[in-house]
């Protein structure tokens, strides 16, 4: 992986500034750096390299034969060898074995349509000197980030926001709409960023900028293909899926540096590891897992069992709550914007641990979204039934829920039931967002009484016609999760945590061919009764034991509820103090104090809103104020 940055400006360019921009992302590419300036000094491209393929001759920025086209690129194009052969047949000449050069020649041959041919994870900026145009593109799911802004007549771009902030023309002004969206989602959704004027290029989009006119164009080149085939049989589909998964894993094993796999013991990562074991020589498969001393959050026994079955060289490290809290300052330090998914902490620790042994790791991201793996898919069906239940029965359930004792255990009954009831009054997909997020619509009004923009507006617009039947609801929700939560939460988490450790993570389940097959699956092959990921489990039935395939989903959680009452209580009281919040003028201090008091007394479990607020305050103290 790499970090890219640069700009196009009619006012020339400052080499020292570009050096600062790329240096801000040295963690993304510790192996080398490179720069290109056009003859008139108006175009600047910078690059930080983490060497994975073509170690000797893959340096960037890279140009075509006559120097008319230059590119700086972050990612991996897994089908680059096939594309290279096609381009050779069409008369293109190559000086390297790198996928970077394939991007250059594919652009020369196909223009903006080149991105449609790439199977991989990527973000790149390409300067077309003949057309006097900057061309930016991002992969279909947004595995690799790309940010941009206009400042003092310059168009700037970078893999991370911190690269843009290294430019003297870019200001750190809080975007209040982005703040409201963060509080609703626990992350800042694309295309917003927490800073006014800085934006993310959406996944599956390309963008052009022409400095002479200042004209920008943004176009989508791919949409998740939700086209269920009702005639697709289970046996046929399982065989097709297993074949595509094998191909996806094999494509991601191309590397000239040590490679391993994250292994949690869940079906996604275990399936990836099992398919890797088919290709990797016996005794050479390396698996990585972290264990927690808090047993309700620990899955290490499952990971050890799968590793033993596969005969992998298994690496495990046990972490305590104190150790996890110890990395919190480091995590806040590398975050460009507030991000309140608590699993960022263990993901960072797993990445840091894994990087001691390998440079590339495969992971299981994407399985829950593509194959309906989250408990909320089942909960959506329960919510429909609950809405139809007699009023006295609903009132009785709500009364019982209020009396449930508050527990700090992972997925405790009181938390699950109360979170379920919190979302029930809303239609889909707003209901799912309320389940996933920190603050629902009514809570956000109390927290931000002066807020004008509605961060839930897009969910409200999607309500009409979102789903006409339970099966259609499952299919629509898989697309919804894929285009929102996975893109802006899961993949951001993995990218930031892994790249902070200079580790590349690859996601076979998000191979475009796997995703397009998933889009063809009817709902009955994704969710059957309460059984999630039906077809994925069917496809892997010959690779993993029954109890691994069918064990309940636990997730990569940490004991935030308990921390906010104990270890983190002093920090929470300090950063969420009423007088401090009143000075800042962003949040209703009385409402926050009520949340904090109820949680720390054990009267209610407010871990999601409190953690979201605390992360923002810690982040703002480091990056904003």
- d(CA 324, CA 516) in angstroms, rounded, equals 38
Cβ(493)–Cβ(351) below 8 Å: no
Statement: residue 453 has pLDDT above 60: yes
- d(CA 427, CA 488) in angstroms, rounded, equals 22
Measuring CA to CA, which residue among 578, 580, 589 is closest to residue 449?
A: 589
Among residues 220, 246, 270, the one where a domain terminates is 220
- Do both 95 and 121 map to the same domain? yes
Claim: this prediction has a pTM higher than 0.85: yes
Q: For position 2, what pLDDT does the model report?
A: 86
For the domain that residue 508 is a member of, what is the CATH number? 3.40.50.620
- d(CA 5, CA 17) in angstroms, rounded, equals 11
For the domain that residue 30 is a member of, what is the CATH number? 3.60.20.10
Share of the chain above pLDDT 70, in %: 97
The 10s digit of each residue's pLDDT in 545-557 is: 998 998 877 666 7
| DSSP structure class, residue 528 | B
- Do both 506 and 526 map to the same domain? yes
Q: For position 606, what pLDDT does the model report?
A: 94
Q: For position 531, what pLDDT does the model report?
A: 92
- Do both 138 and 158 map to the same domain? yes
- Do both 268 and 197 map to the same domain? no
Q: How many other C-beta atoms can be found within 10 angstroms of the C-beta atom of residue 6?
A: 28
- The number of helix segments (H) and strand segments (E) in the chain equals 29, 17
- 47-56, 66-75, 548-557: which range is least confident on average? 47-56
Catalytic residues: 2
Q: For position 486, what pLDDT does the model report?
A: 97
Would residue 83 count as lying in a domain?
yes
Q: For position 387, what pLDDT does the model report?
A: 83
- Do both 295 and 254 map to the same domain? yes
Q: Residue 54 belongs to what H/E stretch?
A: none
Would residue 89 count as lying in a domain?
yes
Give residue 512's pLDDT band: very low, low, confident or very high (50, 70, 90): very high
- d(CA 590, CA 586) in angstroms, rounded, equals 12
Task: Report, as an integer, the average pLDDT of 114-140.
Answer: 97
Domain that residue 565 falls in: 559-625
> What is the C-alpha end-to-end distance of the chain, expressed in Å?
31
- Tell the residue number behind the tokens 């960072």, with chain if given: 348
Q: For position 1, what pLDDT does the model report?
A: 63
Would residue 281 count as lying in a domain?
yes
- Do both 542 and 566 map to the same domain? no
In the sheet that holds 199-200, the strands lie side by side as: 32-37, 43-49, 2-9, 154-158, 147-151, 199-200
Among residues 196, 220, 244, the one where a domain terminates is 220
Q: How many other C-beta atoms can be found within 10 angstroms of the C-beta atom of residue 261?
A: 33
Would residue 416 count as lying in a domain?
no
Would residue 474 count as lying in a domain?
no
Would residue 508 count as lying in a domain?
yes
- Do both 42 and 176 map to the same domain? yes
- Do both 620 and 585 map to the same domain? yes
- 246-260, 339-353, 531-545: which range is least confident on average? 246-260
- Do both 165 and 101 map to the same domain? yes
- Do both 299 and 169 map to the same domain? no
Would residue 417 count as lying in a domain?
no
- Do both 80 and 137 map to the same domain? yes
The total of structural domains in the chain comes to 3
- Do both 202 and 303 map to the same domain? no
Give residue 410's pLDDT band: very low, low, confident or very high (50, 70, 90): low
Q: For position 57, what pLDDT does the model report?
A: 59
């Amino acid at each position: 992986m790499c970090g890219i940055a640069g700009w196009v400006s009619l006012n020339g360019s400052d080499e020292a500034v570009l050096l600062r921009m790329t240096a801000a992302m040295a963690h993304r590419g510790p192996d080398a750096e490179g720069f290109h300036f056009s003859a008139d000094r108006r175009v600047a491209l910078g690059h930080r390299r983490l060497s994975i393929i073509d170690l000797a001759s893959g340096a960037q920025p890279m140009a075509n034969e006559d120097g008319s086209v230059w590119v700086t690129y972050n990612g991996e194009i897994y089908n680059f060898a096939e594309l290279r052969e096609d381009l050779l047949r069409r008369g293109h000449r190559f000086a390297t074995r790198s996928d970077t050069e394939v991007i250059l020649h594919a652009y020369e041959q196909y223009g903006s349509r080149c991105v449609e041919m790439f199977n991989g994870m990527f973000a790149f900026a390409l300067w077309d000197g003949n057309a006097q145009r900057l061309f930016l593109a991002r992969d279909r799911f947004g595995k690799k980030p790309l940010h941009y802004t206009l400042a003092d007549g310059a168009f700037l771009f970078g893999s991370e926001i911190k690269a843009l902030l290294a430019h003297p023309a870019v200001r750190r002004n809080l975007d209040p709409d982005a703040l409201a969206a963060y509080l609703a989602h626990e992350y800042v959704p694309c295309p917003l960023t927490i800073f006014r004027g800085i934006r993310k290029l959406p996944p599956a989009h390309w963008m052009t900028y022409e400095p002479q006119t200042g004209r920008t164009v943004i176009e989508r080149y791919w949409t998740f293909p939700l086209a269920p085939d009702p005639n697709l049989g289970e046996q046929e589909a399982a065989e097709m899926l297993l074949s595509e998964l094998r191909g996806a894993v094999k494509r991601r094993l191309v590397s000239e540096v040590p490679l391993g796999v994250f292994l949690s013991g869940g079906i996604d990562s275990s399936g990836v590891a099992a398919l890797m074991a088919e290709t990797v020589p016996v005794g050479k498969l390396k698996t990585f897992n972290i264990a927690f001393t808090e047993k309700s959050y620990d899955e290490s026994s499952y990971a050890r069992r799968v590793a033993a079955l596969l005969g992998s060289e298994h690496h495990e490290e046990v972490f305590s709550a104190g150790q996890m809290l110890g990395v919190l300052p480091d995590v806040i330090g590398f975050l460009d914007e507030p991000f309140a998914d608590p699993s960022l902490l263990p993901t960072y620790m797993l990445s840091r641990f894994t990087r001691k042994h390998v440079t590339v790791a495969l992971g299981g991201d994407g399985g829950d979204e593509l194959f309906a793996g989250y408990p909320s898919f089942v909960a959506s069906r329960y919510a429909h039934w609950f809405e139809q239940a007699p009023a006295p029965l609903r009132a009785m359930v709500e009364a019982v829920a209020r009396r449930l004792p508050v527990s700090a255990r992972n997925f405790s009954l009181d938390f699950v039931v109360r979170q379920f009831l919190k979302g029930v009054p809303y239609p889909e997909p707003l209901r799912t967002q309320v389940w996933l997020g920190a603050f629902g619509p009514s809570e956000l009004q109390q927290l931000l009484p002066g807020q004008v923009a509605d961060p839930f507006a897009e969910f409200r617009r999607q309500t009409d016609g979102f789903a006409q039947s339970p099966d259609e609801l499952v299919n629509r929700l898989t697309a919804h999760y894929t285009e929102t939560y996975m893109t802006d939460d899961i993949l951001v988490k993995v990218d930031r945590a892994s790249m902070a450790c200079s580790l590349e993570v690859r996601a076979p389940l998000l191979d475009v061919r796997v995703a397009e097959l998933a889009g063809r699956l009817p709902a009955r092959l994704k969710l059957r009764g309460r059984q999630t990921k039906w077809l994925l489990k069917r496809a892997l039935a010959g690779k993993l034991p029954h109890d691994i395939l069918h064990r309940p989903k636990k997730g990569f959680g940490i004991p935030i509820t308990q921390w906010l009452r104990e270890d983190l209580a002093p920090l929470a009281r300090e950063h969420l103090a009423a007088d401090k919040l009143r000075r800042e003028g962003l949040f209703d201090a009385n409402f926050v104090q009520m949340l904090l008091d109820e949680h720390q007394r054990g009267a209610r479990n407010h871990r999601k809103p409190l953690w979201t607020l605390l992360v923002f305050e810690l982040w703002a103290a480091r990056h904003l104020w």
